[in-house]
Amino acid sequence: MKRKRVWLLCPLIVVALLLCAVPAYASIPTMPHAFYGTLTIAGTPAAVGTVVTAKVNEVQCGSITTTVAGQYGGSGAFDEKLTVTGEIETGADISFFINGTATGQAYDYDFSPGAVSEHNLAINDDTDPPLVTITELSPDPTTDATPTFTGTATDTQSNIASVEYRVDSGSWVMATASDGAFDSLSEGYTFTIPALADGGYTVYVRATDAASPPNTTLEADYANDSFTVDTLAPTVDSTSPASGETGVLVDTVVTATFSERMDASTITTGSFTLEGVAGSVSYDFGTYTATFTPDADLTDDTIYTATLSTAVTDAAGNAIAAEYYWNFTTGVVPDTIPPSVTVSDIVTTTDITPTFTGTATDTQSNIAGVEYRVDSGSWVAATASDGTFDSLSEGYTFTTSALSIGEHTVYVRATDAASPPNTTLEADYATDTFTVEESGVIPGDANGDGLVNAVDITKVERIIAGLDAETPGADANEDGSVNALDITMVEIIIAYP
């Protein structure tokens, strides 16, 4: 390929001679600065016909069209070069453009009249801005007023040139590369925010690549993280029951409401306690309330102490300033439940003054007394087995007055020491039905031989006929008279002993 050659030395000598001949008042033209070098676009040699221009202060002052792929001008004395001419001050910056696109390499070369320089030019077609990620600060909120953030900036074509961050709408600040330099497609970065007051914040991060021209992360793609700085100790805003409260129900639960969101894992049966009471603990994130639920009802008319230890912390890890405790007193629970009673089972007795024993119990108040009655008779006080009625469970004993021969029913009831007192309901009376028999008498043993058999039938018949005197055993059915019904009863006794 034929190249256009320019002999620079001869023209320069001629120009110099002419300058010597002109009058002192004439303007001396500035000598050109010539450039040549390689030419690439997106890493590929530029095609023949590519136009390279030079500008100083936005004014074009030189241009060349390539005749060889990947090269503008040549190093030979007679090779065409990109000459920069015009009224240019020495040291002025020259900007270079390839097909009208700035190379971004303007500040590497200054204008030097008469100089010839090799200056390799290139442009990149990288127009994609880099992407950034940010490591989420954990936990959030943080007790550190100067939190540190880390993350990664990546680009698909050009190296990362820088990373910047800002807090809320503040100024952009340069971050630091994790490895000390931004010189690759993927770069880790880190930065520590200056001291912040307690409150909520959002940090934004963007990156710029080394493309020509450079690309910066679009605002919509800024990495961001919202966080809260919390350096204050939490406080207890309220409790239930309140400190010093009296008359508290025995089935109450105990709660403490805090000034801020707490770390639920620190609120346990070890850090939230009710003295002498077993129970479970829970925490409500929405209301900042911790709840202690006793496993059973509290004791009435009793002072209780609830305690929150310094193991309790807020979500940022700040512990309460000091152990927090409060007292409350349960009320007296009215006793409306009557006591219950049991009675020893006695079926028959030959004693006309039988003795009974049993137990009376109550769930809340001590037993105050036990009474009994036989059939529809009057109520009579029983005696405590240990001599006193002063506990929730009391044994009792009583011996009835002399009873008639025959069947009887005994009823027992108890009264507690509640105010007002409660007495066993009629439906719950302890009862026992028994029979009092004449001593040594067997119903149906009419002849008194200790046996009930056919001989006794004959004896009853003789008594009915008036041949023999009446005997106690002859009244087999115990209805108070000896008659034919007793014969039948004897037969029944024989048949079904």
What is the pLDDT at residue 439? 64
Residue with token string 């256009």: 4
pLDDT at 84 > cutoff 70: yes
Percent of the chain with pLDDT over 90: 59
The predicted pLDDT at position 138 comes to 56
- pLDDT grade for 28, boundaries at 50, 70 and 90: low
**pLDDT tens digits along 201-219:** 999 999 999 887 789 999 9
At residue 436, the pLDDT reads 80
pLDDT in tens, 124-164: 767 889 999 988 665 567 777 888 899 999 998 888 999 99
Q: Which CATH class is domain 131-229?
A: mainly beta
pLDDT tier at 19 (50, 70, 90 boundaries)?
A: very low
Pick the CATH number of 340-436 from 1.10.8.80, 1.10.287.3510, 2.60.40.650, 2.50.20.10: 2.60.40.650
Q: Which residues partner with 53 through β-bridges?
A: 63, 97
Q: Please, which residues have CB within 8 angstroms of residue 103's CB and are 6 or more apart in sequence?
A: 96, 97, 121, 122, 123, 212
Q: What mean pLDDT do residues 316-336 have? A: 92
Give the model's pLDDT for residue 136: 66
SS (H, E, C) the chain: CCCCECCCHHHHHHHHHHHHHCCCCCCCCCCCEEEEEEEEECCEECCCCCEEEEEECCEEEEEEECCECCEECCCCCCECCEEECCCCCCCCECEEEECCEECCCHHHCECCCCCEEECCEEECCCCCCCEEEECCCCCCCECCCCCEEEEEEECCCCCEEEEEEEECCCCCEECEECCCCCCCCEEEEEEECCCCCCEEEEEEEEEEECCCCCCECCHHHCEEEEEEECCCCCCEEEEECCCCCCCECCCCCEEEEECCCECHHHCCCCCEEECCECEEEEEECCCCEEEEEECCCCCCCCEEEEEECCCCEECCCCECCCCEEEEEEECCCCCCCCCEEEECCCCEECCCCCEEEEEEECCCCCEEEEEEEECCCCCEECEECCCCCCCCEEEEEEECCCCCCEEEEEEEEEEECCCCCCECCHHHCEEEEEEECCCCCCCCCCCCCCCCCHHHHHHHHHHHHCCCCCCHHHCCCCCCCCCHHHHHHHHHHHHCC
So what's the pLDDT on residue 398?
92
- Every domain of the chain and the residues it spans: 9-123, 131-229, 257-329, 340-436, 454-495
pLDDT in tens, 438-450: 666 778 888 877 7
Which has more pLDDT, 400 or 307? 307
Per-residue pLDDT tens digits for 50-64 = 999 999 988 999 999
Query: Does pLDDT of 169 surpass 60?
Result: yes
**Model confidence band, residue 24 (pLDDT cutoffs 50, 70, 90):** very low
Average pLDDT, the chain: 87
Tell me the CATH architecture of domain 9-123.
Answer: Sandwich (2.60)
∠ CA 470-472-475, rounded to 5°: 80
| 31: pLDDT strictly greater than 90 | no
Hey, which residues does 239 pair with through a beta bridge?
Answer: 256
In the prediction, which pLDDT does 21 show? 45
Higher pLDDT, 140 or 81: 81
Of 303, 402, 299, nearest in space to 349 by CA: 402
**Same-fold call for 9-123 versus 340-436:** yes
